[in-house]
């Protein structure tokens, strides 16, 4: 069995303030693209995980391993007798503002529900997702939504953007989410505007201060023909640009790839 861990974008992200539990109060718009990591599962006596793919070397140690944590939590919660042999093909950069481990953990929950014959609509799935991390509930949904609170109080949305060509670009810089949030200084931008997609990303300024190459990526994307909205996703360092056509998106990807070979680029579409 296979499950796609779709990469997550924050089309807008406003930080409203710091919370007493160590998190930040957010108002954000989640969207997802057609591409992401791939998770496979086979029946087995125990829970195991093998990591492959171009970004596998960036994942070392249990701290990066939300997939096994998700699998173990689901196994224990439902008292499942069998295990699973999991293989994660890591196709997108790590620590990149794309959901990463959260998307992988959410994919594990969806995949193992099918493998083990569990009801994915059981409230336990949402409880496990929330306990694993603030982005995991949104990634479990993997559909456009507005996130409040830590980002896990979700309101599904129809943004009317399905099929929109989007180019993802990462300069090859891994950014710590904690470091970027730690560098954020109030006040934020307040709640999102009436059209929430018109909001900005309050983490862009601290992220650029920590990794100036993000600013270079954003400037390059804004210069592309046929480009619309350009922003950084999450806490970075991946930036995205929405395009008016797949041809314009593909041309931009080719041009940027030729100019900056070390940068990671992915032309895809919003779902």
* Residues belonging to the active site: 8, 135
Please tell me the distance from the alpha carbon of residue 11 to that of residue 262, in angstroms, as a whole number: 25
Report in angstroms the alpha-carbon separations of 173 from 24, 111, 176, 212, 219: 23, 30, 10, 10, 17
DSSP H helix total and E strand total for the chain: 8, 10
The Cβ of residue 226 has, within 10 Å, a number of other Cβ atoms equal to 16
Are the CB atoms for 225 and 251 separated by under 8 Å?
A: yes
Please tell me the distance from the alpha carbon of residue 132 to that of residue 150, in angstroms, as a whole number: 12
- φ/ψ bin of 113: left (φ > 0), alpha (ψ from -120 to 50), beta (otherwise): alpha
Of 269, 93, 265, the closest CA to residue 166 belongs to 269
**Eight-class DSSP state of 35:** E
Of 220, 217, 238, 172, the closest CA to residue 10 belongs to 238
């Amino acid at each position: 069995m296979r499950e796609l861990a779709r990469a997550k974008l924050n089309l807008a992200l406003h930080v409203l303030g710091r919370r007493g539990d160590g998190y930040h109060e957010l108002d954000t718009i989640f969207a997802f693209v057609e591409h992401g990591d791939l998770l496979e599962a086979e029946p087995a006596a125990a829970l195991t995980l093998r990591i492959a793919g171009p970004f596998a070397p960036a994942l070392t140690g249990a701290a990066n391993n939300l997939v096994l944590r998700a699998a173990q939590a689901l196994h224990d919660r439902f008292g499942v007798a069998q295990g699973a042999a999991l293989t994660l093909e890591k196709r997108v950069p790590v620590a990149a503002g794309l959901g990463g481990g959260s998307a992988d953990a959410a994919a594990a929950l969806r995949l193992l529900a099918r493998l083990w014959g569990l009801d994915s609509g059981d409230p336990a799935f949402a409880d496990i997702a929330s306990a694993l991390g603030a982005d995991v509930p949104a990634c479990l949904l993997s559909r456009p939504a507005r996130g409040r609170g830590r980002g896990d109080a979700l309101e599904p949305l129809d943004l009317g953007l399905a099929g929109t060509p989007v180019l993802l670009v990462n300069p090859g810089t891994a950014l710590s989410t904690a470091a970027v949030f730690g560098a954020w200084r109030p006040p934020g931008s307040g709640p999102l505007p009436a059209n929430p997609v018109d909001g900005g990303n309050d983490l862009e300024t601290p992220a650029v201060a920590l990794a100036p190459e993000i600013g270079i990526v954003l400037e390059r994307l804004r210069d592309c023909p046929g480009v619309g909205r350009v922003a950084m996703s999450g806490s970075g360092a991946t930036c995205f640009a929405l395009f008016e056509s797949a041809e314009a998106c593909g041309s931009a990807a080719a041009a940027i790839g030729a100019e900056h070979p070390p940068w990671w680029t992915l032309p895809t579409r919003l779902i």
